[in-house]
């Protein structure tokens, strides 16, 4: 039997296993069930691919999304592994051919969509074939509380019932405990060994800015830090998606919209361009994302707030799968808090669900308003403790001051009370600042005790106070859509003076160019020769990718090209030592890349 480490080197071109990979692989090769919890980019695929190749029979991989399967199979074929997929995109005759390959054991891995796997036809086929294992990818899709719920996933318990001798490996990047318990229960994985690596994504820099003018802020961020990079911009509404994509295009970026309201052809085409071209920005609603396997997404920008930290973690997690530096950048403001609170209150969900959603939103808002290290808060939510502050999130890089806001909170809350909980934030602030507007006079609110008691703070500061009071759950926003604020029970302690409050001092936004905060991939090589080499290597990769109609990163990852530039291999043997260059790729592409290296070397010698 081939040994896993040897296979890692010869087929995948990597030197050593990452944390837990080897243990999982051994366990599954020996026939055990496993539940693998690793962050995005952690290297989950190898955990089932290597055992599937080594164990006799075909490994069946259940994967929820067509694009994801396609990408994985393309990547495996590049490595010389015998892989195929069956889903609705495969024609009848192709499917027949693949089914035969499956029956006769001519495949190492077969990817199938859950709905197809559950058909009587496919179950019968599996009974006849020889199987090495079942891998259930994106296992959190069984969770009814989760945002990726897929009903067919629940029925996957039949794998265990009908094929008790075939090892199962379930994998997910979703971290929270309730989901974990649901997976184990629904899929009958009580006896599976759990392998968890922790969920930190050290290469992602988490940052947040107060929303002022979102378009200009976004453009500034892109110009300063990602002038040529591919990335995703998430917006809350379809309209905002369209506007933002248009605005970015007018400002010289290749930006494509993606949301559920677009024609499916256009959606697919835009997704394909994002995967296959370099430097494309997709502006999207949350409809875009799961199954985006592109490894060199250098930033994920949020112009609106996700509904939970799980969603935030998953969306930002699409950045930096290749392990190189990436930014998770978000704009956040008063309106976001209001809109999300209203969305939950107004939804048709039952009370239990609303309660769960409120709690999740509270955690999200707490994360936004924190003065502590973002990474500590984020990982803390998933039950992990990070001993030291991370040193490269925004609050670590630019510590945020806090101030004692007890008195300000009392003023703000009593102003809500004195005006009968019927007014929105602009009106309340005008009362606090003692503005004699027509409306205020009509309601005789220039005669109440809170009129003019807030002149010690500016309008912006009061906005910040109200935003934080809502985020902390002292105020709710009305359900009629006018944005009036109401007190919650929690207010009493503050109004009575039994509870003191600390507020975050919002950093003053200056519209100057901010300095690059994180070491984001060196697409700009310091040395001119290296920059030219980088561009030629990327062009070569793009040409090879286009010939085969696959994304460029499937030929070689950015990190592999970077290592080539650093090491400048001169022979096939040397090139084969670079991480990510396995035997099959060396055979297929080695000469093409060596030629480019050679040309550059001569050119440099000429120059000197």
The partner in contact with residue 224, picked from Zn ion, ligand ADP, none with C-beta cut-offs of 5 to 8 angstroms by kind, is none
Nearer Cβ to ligand ADP (494/564): 564
- Closest distance between Zn ion and the C-beta of residue 388, in Å? 9
Q: Please count the other Cβ atoms lying within 10 Å of the Cβ belonging to residue 545.
A: 21
Contact 82, 108 (CB under 8 A): yes
- Closest distance between Zn ion and the C-beta of residue 529, in Å? 36
- Closest distance between Zn ion and the C-beta of residue 568, in Å? 36
* Strand, coil or helix: 168: strand
The partner in contact with residue 329, picked from Zn ion, ligand ADP, none with C-beta cut-offs of 5 to 8 angstroms by kind, is none
Cα separation, 49 vs 76, whole angstroms: 9
Considering only CA atoms, give the Rg of the chain. Answer: 27
Which 363-402 residues touch Zn ion, going by CB under 5 A?
373, 375, 389-390, 393, 396
Residues with Cβ within 8 Å of 57's Cβ and at least 6 positions away in sequence, in order, are 105, 129, 130, 131, 132
Measuring CA to CA, how many Å separate 579 from each of 399, 521, 567? 38, 17, 11
Q: What is the dihedral of CA 343, 348, 352, 358, to 10 degrees?
A: 0
- Closest distance between Zn ion and the C-beta of residue 225, in Å? 18
Nearer Cβ to ligand ADP (38/469): 38
- Closest distance between Zn ion and the C-beta of residue 205, in Å? 9
The partner in contact with residue 396, picked from ligand ADP, Zn ion, none with C-beta cut-offs of 5 to 8 angstroms by kind, is Zn ion
Nearer Cβ to Zn ion (294/374): 374
Query: Exposed, middle or buried by CB within 10 Å (0-12, 13-18, 19+), for 342?
Result: middle
CA-CA-CA-CA torsion sign (448, 454, 459, 463)? negative
Cα separation, 155 vs 115, whole angstroms: 10
Q: Count residues contacting Zn ion (CB under 5 A)?
A: 6
The β-bridge partners of 136 are: 62, 170
Cα separation, 29 vs 89, whole angstroms: 31
| Nearest residue to Zn ion, by Cβ distance, number only | 373
- Closest distance between ligand ADP and the C-beta of residue 53, in Å? 15
The partner in contact with residue 284, picked from ligand ADP, Zn ion, none with C-beta cut-offs of 5 to 8 angstroms by kind, is none
Nearer Cβ to ligand ADP (298/445): 298
Nearer Cβ to ligand ADP (38/537): 38
Site map (CB under 5 A) of Zn ion, residues 410-439, x = contact: ------------------------------
Taking the mean position of all CA atoms in its chain, how far away is CA 94?
A: 33
* Alpha helix positions (H), 147-213: 151-154, 157-162, 177-186
Nearer Cβ to ligand ADP (42/59): 42
Taking the mean position of all CA atoms in its chain, how far away is CA 382?
A: 15
Q: Footprint of ligand ADP on this chain (CB under 6 A)?
A: 14, 17-18, 21, 38, 40-46, 295, 321-322, 557, 579
Measuring CA to CA, how many Å separate 149 from each of 154, 279, 298, 373? 9, 31, 28, 31
Which of these, 191, 156, 206, 194, lies nearest to 38 by C-alpha position? 194
The partner in contact with residue 295, picked from ligand ADP, Zn ion, none with C-beta cut-offs of 5 to 8 angstroms by kind, is ligand ADP
The partner in contact with residue 46, picked from ligand ADP, Zn ion, none with C-beta cut-offs of 5 to 8 angstroms by kind, is ligand ADP
Nearer Cβ to Zn ion (361/393): 393
Which of these, 202, 199, 263, 258, lies nearest to 231 by C-alpha position? 258
Nearer Cβ to ligand ADP (107/292): 292
Q: Which two tokens stand for residue 468?
A: 């934080």
- Closest distance between ligand ADP and the C-beta of residue 47, in Å? 8
Nearer Cβ to ligand ADP (324/429): 324
The partner in contact with residue 476, picked from ligand ADP, Zn ion, none with C-beta cut-offs of 5 to 8 angstroms by kind, is none
- Closest distance between Zn ion and the C-beta of residue 100, in Å? 54
Nearer Cβ to ligand ADP (209/562): 562
The partner in contact with residue 390, picked from Zn ion, ligand ADP, none with C-beta cut-offs of 5 to 8 angstroms by kind, is Zn ion
- Closest distance between ligand ADP and the C-beta of residue 417, in Å? 50
Half-sphere exposure of 107 (CA within 13 A, CB side): 27
The partner in contact with residue 500, picked from Zn ion, ligand ADP, none with C-beta cut-offs of 5 to 8 angstroms by kind, is none
* Alpha helix positions (H), 112-176: 114-117, 120-128, 151-154, 157-162
Q: Beginning with the edge strand found earlier in the chain, give each strand of the sheet holding 231-234 in spatial order.
A: 204-210, 326-332, 299-302, 231-234, 281-284, 255-258
Cα separation, 444 vs 436, whole angstroms: 10
- Residue 191 is given by DSSP the state T
Nearer Cβ to ligand ADP (39/405): 39
Residues with Cβ within 8 Å of 95's Cβ and at least 6 positions away in sequence, in order, are 86
Site map (CB under 5 A) of Zn ion, residues 202-241, x = contact: ----------------------------------------
The partner in contact with residue 41, picked from ligand ADP, Zn ion, none with C-beta cut-offs of 5 to 8 angstroms by kind, is ligand ADP
The partner in contact with residue 45, picked from Zn ion, ligand ADP, none with C-beta cut-offs of 5 to 8 angstroms by kind, is ligand ADP
The partner in contact with residue 373, picked from ligand ADP, Zn ion, none with C-beta cut-offs of 5 to 8 angstroms by kind, is Zn ion
Q: Which two tokens stand for residue 94?
A: 């192709």
- Closest distance between ligand ADP and the C-beta of residue 291, in Å? 11
Residue for token pair 């039949």: 158
- Closest distance between ligand ADP and the C-beta of residue 553, in Å? 8
Nearer Cβ to ligand ADP (324/537): 324
- Closest distance between Zn ion and the C-beta of residue 555, in Å? 35
Cα separation, 178 vs 188, whole angstroms: 15
Element (H, E) at 61: strand 58-62
Taking the mean position of all CA atoms in its chain, how far away is CA 260?
A: 18
- Closest distance between ligand ADP and the C-beta of residue 321, in Å? 5
Cα separation, 393 vs 105, whole angstroms: 49
- Closest distance between ligand ADP and the C-beta of residue 38, in Å? 5
The partner in contact with residue 43, picked from Zn ion, ligand ADP, none with C-beta cut-offs of 5 to 8 angstroms by kind, is ligand ADP
Element (H, E) at 170: strand 168-172
The partner in contact with residue 393, picked from ligand ADP, Zn ion, none with C-beta cut-offs of 5 to 8 angstroms by kind, is Zn ion
**Contact residues for Zn ion, defined by CB under 5 A:** 373, 375, 389-390, 393, 396
């Amino acid at each position: 039997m081939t040994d896993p480490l040897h296979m890692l080197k010869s087929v995948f071109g990597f030197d050593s296993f990452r944390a837990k990979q080897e243990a999982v692989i051994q366990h599954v090769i020996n026939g055990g069930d496993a539940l693998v919890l690793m962050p995005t980019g952690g290297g989950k695929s190898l955990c089932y691919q290597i055992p599937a190749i080594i164990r006799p029979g075909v490994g069946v991989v259940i994967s929820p999304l067509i694009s994801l399967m396609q990408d994985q199979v393309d990547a495996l074929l590049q490595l010389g592994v015998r892989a195929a997929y069956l889903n609705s995109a495969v024609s009848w005759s192709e499917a027949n051919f693949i089914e035969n390959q499956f029956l006769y054991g001519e495949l190492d891995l077969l990817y199938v969509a859950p709905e197809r796997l559950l058909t009587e036809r496919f179950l019968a086929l599996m009974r006849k074939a020889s199987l090495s294992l079942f891998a259930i990818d994106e296992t959190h899709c069984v969770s009814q509380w989760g945002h990726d719920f897929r009903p067919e996933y629940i029925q996957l318990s039949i794998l265990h019932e009908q094929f008790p001798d075939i090892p199962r490996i379930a994998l997910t990047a979703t971290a929270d405990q309730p989901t974990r318990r649901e997976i184990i229960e629904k899929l009958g994985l009580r006896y599976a060994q759990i392998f968890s690596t922790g969920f930190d994504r050290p290469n992602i820099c988490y940052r947040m800015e107060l929303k002022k003018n979102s378009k200009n802020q976004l453009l500034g961020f892109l110009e300063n830090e990602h002038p040529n990079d591919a990335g995703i911009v998430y917006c809350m509404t379809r309209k905002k998606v369209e506007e933002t994509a248009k605005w970015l295009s007018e400002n010289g970026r290749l930006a494509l919209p993606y949301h559920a309201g677009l024609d499916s052809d256009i959606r697919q085409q835009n997704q394909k361009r994002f995967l296959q071209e370099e430097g494309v920005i997709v502006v999207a609603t949350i409809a875009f994302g799961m199954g985006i396997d592109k490894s060199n997404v250098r930033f994920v920008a949020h112009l609106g707030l996700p509904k939970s930290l799980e969603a935030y973690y998953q969306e930002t997690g699409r950045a930096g799968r290749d392990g190189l530096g990436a930014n998770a950048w978000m704009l956040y403001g008063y309106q976001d808090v209001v809109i999300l609170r209203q969305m939950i209150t107004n939804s048709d969900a039952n009370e239990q669900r609303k309660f769960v959603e409120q709690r999740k939103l509270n955690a999200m808002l707490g994360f936004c308003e924190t003065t502590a290290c973002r990474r500590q808060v984020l990982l803390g939510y998933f039950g992990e403790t990070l001993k030291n502050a991370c040193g490269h999130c925004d609050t670590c890089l630019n510590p945020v001051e806090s101030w004692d806001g007890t008195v300000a909170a009392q003023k703000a809350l009593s102003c809500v009370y004195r005006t009968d909980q019927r007014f929105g934030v602009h009106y309340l602030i005008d009362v606090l600042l003692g503005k004699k507007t027509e409306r205020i006079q009509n309601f005789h609110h220039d005669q109440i005790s809170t009129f003019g008691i807030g002149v010690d703070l500016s309008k912006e500061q009061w906005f910040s106070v109200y935003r934080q009071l809502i985020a902390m759950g002292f105020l709710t926003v009305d359900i009629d859509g006018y944005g009036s604020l109401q007190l919650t029970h929690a207010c009493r302690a503050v109004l009575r003076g039994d509870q003191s409050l600390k507020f975050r001092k919002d950093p003053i936004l200056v519209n100057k160019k901010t300095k690059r905060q994180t070491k984001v991939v060196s697409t700009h090589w310091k040395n001119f020769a290296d920059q030219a080499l980088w561009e030629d290597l990327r062009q070569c990769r793009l040409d090879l990718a286009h010939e085969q109609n696959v994304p460029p990163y499937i030929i070689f990852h950015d990190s592999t090209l970077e290592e080539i530039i650093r090491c400048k291999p001169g022979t096939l043997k040397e090139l084969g030592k670079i991480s990510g260059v396995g035997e099959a790729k060396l055979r297929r592409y080695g000469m093409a890349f060596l030629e480019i290296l050679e040309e550059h070397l001569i050119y440099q010698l000429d120059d000197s």
